[in-house]
């Protein structure tokens, strides 16, 4: 239940601004795939007179390079197997990780320079767009923006028209009184505009994405002419880096503390976690395998021809998805497809998780329903959903509201012993960041590109689903388990706005600003 809507818009933005299709799709995937930049034919130039000849040459060259790269990746792993492949056995520590947090701890207190905000009679009203996690990070950014502009923030309105079709208000999802109270020393938050300002003209402003503090200080000039600025979309994304430390910490205080879920959601979330815990340790699996997701990415591997056709038709009929012609195999080999439920099963088994492992399925409606889930359940029979953990009546009022159901998945995912997202996206990023914040709880990010090569070897009968696969998969994921590291900067070679866009998201890894090693904070 993460935000397919956001994934769409983020990917579309990228596709819209990049010069080639391959690049756009690469950006839609995880930045983690930066080790394998897409080779695009667009970067070659040739004279029109002999263009056909050169075109063939270039295509041959690209093919050779691609073949070489794919071979190299496998052989690099092959050359260096673990010493005792025949007796692969993951330790408890490897499976469930340390709960010690590696000595890091949250540090979100303001610095000594920080002052209480003044009331200058300036107001910002916001409409929050997207799914739950896009709204949460967007609201956290707007709190920081209000602080930078010395303005009072009116409780954001939530998007009701989007894909999510959710009529929930801010108060339905978040603890509104707590939000206002806990931000008192940071930003004034009010439930509505003062009466005398309700009907004054407002400046409507789409802020430029990835802007820093200077931009917003400049924007504060608008308040010379208007008392109220209206922001129609909250996903205007503050810069990830180079913001004052106090602004970064304010973003963390907002996201991790002030934006507490409303009591009914918190209560049911805790109940679900307790029920899972009573069975032992559990993995939360964020399985992205919804129809619109598969249609948008063009990922049809493992589906029937009829299903592939259905997904293609959906893509062709969805006007705001600009990319219509997608090669499913190319996408898959590029690591740009969500793992299928069956692949997730092979993956978790290869990592050494026993068949008896409890897995909580955090997901929207899975395409093909039980057909594909069965491939996972046969490998891990203790696969549960929220519907299986509570009585129908308890859940009823939540399932009618996509964002509230997503909030339950969020709580259970943050609290899990291990979190595994099958694909990238807002929810995966937000949960990973929150888990880092709370003590680097284990998050295993599948190396989709590396994995599909292994899956294909199994499919072709060239490798067995056994100790050799286990040691390869474990080695491949040694450094993809959410241990402490600084947030990544931009992709090498990217320039201008693209540079800002390719930085790792602040909310995916708020280290170093909000996670510290020293005891001083």
Site residues (CB under 6 A) for ligand NAG?
Answer: 118, 149-150, 217, 220
Q: Are 327 and 443 in contact (CB under 8 A)?
A: no
The residue assigned the tokens 């943050």 is 414
Tokens of 451: 């994995």
207 backbone φψ class: left, alpha, beta (φ>0; ψ -120 to 50): beta
Q: Are 19 and 6 in contact (CB under 8 A)?
A: no
Nearest alpha carbon to residue 447 among 425, 424, 427: 424
User: From the CB of 151, what's the least distance to ligand NAG, in Å?
Assistant: 9
User: From the CB of 181, what's the least distance to ligand NAG, in Å?
Assistant: 22
State the pairing for strand pair 418-421/442-443.
parallel
User: From the CB of 223, what's the least distance to ligand NAG, in Å?
Assistant: 8
CA–CA separation, 130 and 140 (whole Å): 14
Determine the 3-state secondary structure of 496 from DSSP. Answer: helix
Own/partner pairs for 169-175, CB < 8 Å, 24+ apart? 171/262, 172/262, 172/401, 172/404, 173/132, 173/261, 173/262, 173/265, 173/403, 173/404, 173/407, 174/259, 174/260, 174/261, 174/262, 175/260, 175/261, 175/262, 175/263, 175/266
User: From the CB of 218, what's the least distance to ligand NAG, in Å?
Assistant: 8
Q: What letter would DSSP give residue 424? A: -
Nearest alpha carbon to residue 324 among 41, 21, 117, 109: 21
Helix (H) / strand (E) containing 272: helix 263-277
Tokens of 179: 């939000």
The residue assigned the tokens 């009529």 is 167
Tokens of 269: 């979330």
Helix (H) / strand (E) containing 204: strand 203-204
Q: Give exposure, 137-171, as e/b (b: 16+ Cβ within 10 Å).
A: bbbbbbbbbbbbbbbbbbbbebbeebbbebebebe
């Amino acid at each position: 239940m993460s935000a397919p809507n956001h994934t769409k818009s983020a990917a579309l933005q990228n596709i819209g601004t990049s010069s080639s299709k391959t690049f756009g799709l690469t950006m839609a995937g995880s930045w983690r795939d930066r080790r394998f930049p897409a080779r695009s034919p667009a970067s070659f130039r040739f004279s029109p007179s002999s263009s056909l000849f050169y075109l063939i040459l270039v295509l041959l060259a690209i093919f050779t390079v691609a073949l070489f790269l794919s071979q190299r990746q496998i052989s690099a792993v092959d050359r260096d197997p673990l010493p005792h492949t025949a007796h692969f056995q993951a330790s408890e520590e490897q499976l469930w990780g340390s709960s010690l947090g590696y000595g890091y701890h949250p540090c979100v207190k303001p610095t000594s320079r920080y002052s209480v905000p003044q009331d200058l009679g300036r107001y910002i009203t916001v409409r929050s767009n997207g799914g739950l996690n896009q709204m949460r990070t967007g609201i956290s950014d707007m709190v920081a923006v209000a602080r930078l502009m010395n303005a009072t923030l009116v409780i954001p309105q939530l998007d009701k028209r989007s894909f999510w079709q959710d009529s929930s208000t801010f108060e339905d999802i978040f603890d509104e009184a707590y939000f206002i109270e806990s931000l008192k020393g940071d930003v004034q938050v009010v439930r509505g505009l003062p009466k005398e300002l309700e009907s004054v003209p407002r400046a409507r402003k789409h802020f430029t994405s990835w802007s820093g503090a200077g931009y917003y200080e400049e924007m504060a000039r608008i308040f010379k002419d208007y008392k109220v600025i209206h922001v129609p979309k909250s996903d205007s994304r503050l810069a990830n880096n180079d913001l004052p430390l106090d602004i970064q910490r304010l973003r963390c205080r907002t996201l991790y503390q002030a934006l507490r879920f409303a009591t009914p959601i918190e209560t049911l979330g805790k109940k679900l976690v307790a029920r899972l815990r009573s069975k032992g340790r559990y993995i939360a699996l964020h399985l992205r395998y919804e129809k619109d997701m598969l249609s948008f990415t063009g990922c049809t591997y493992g589906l029937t021809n009829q299903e592939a056709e259905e997904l293609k038709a959906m893509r062709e009929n969805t006007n705001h998805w600009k990319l219509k012609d997608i090669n499913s195999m190319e996408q898959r080999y590029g690591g740009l497809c969500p793992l299928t439920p069956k692949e997730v099963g092979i993956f978790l088994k290869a990592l050494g998780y026993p068949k008896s492992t409890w897995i909580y399925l955090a997901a929207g409606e899975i395409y093909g329903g039980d057909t594909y889930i069965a491939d996972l359940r046969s490998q891990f029979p203790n696969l549960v959903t929220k519907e299986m953990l509570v009585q129908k009546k308890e859940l009823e009022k939540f399932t009618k509201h996509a964002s509230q159901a997503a909030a339950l998945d969020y709580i259970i995912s943050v609290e899990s012993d291990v979190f595994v997202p099958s694909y990238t996206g807002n929810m995966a990023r937000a949960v990973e960041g929150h888990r880092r914040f709370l003590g680097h709880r284990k998050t295993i990010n599948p190396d989709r590109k590396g994995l599909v090569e292994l899956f294909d070897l199994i499919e072709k009968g060239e490798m067995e689903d056994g100790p050799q696969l286990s040691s390869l998969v474990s080695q491949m994921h040694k450094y993809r388990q959410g241990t402490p590291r600084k947030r990544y900067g931009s992709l090498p070679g990217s320039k201008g706005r693209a540079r800002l866009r390719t930085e790792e998201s602040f909310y995916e890894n708020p280290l170093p600003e909000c996670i510290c090693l020293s005891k001083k904070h």
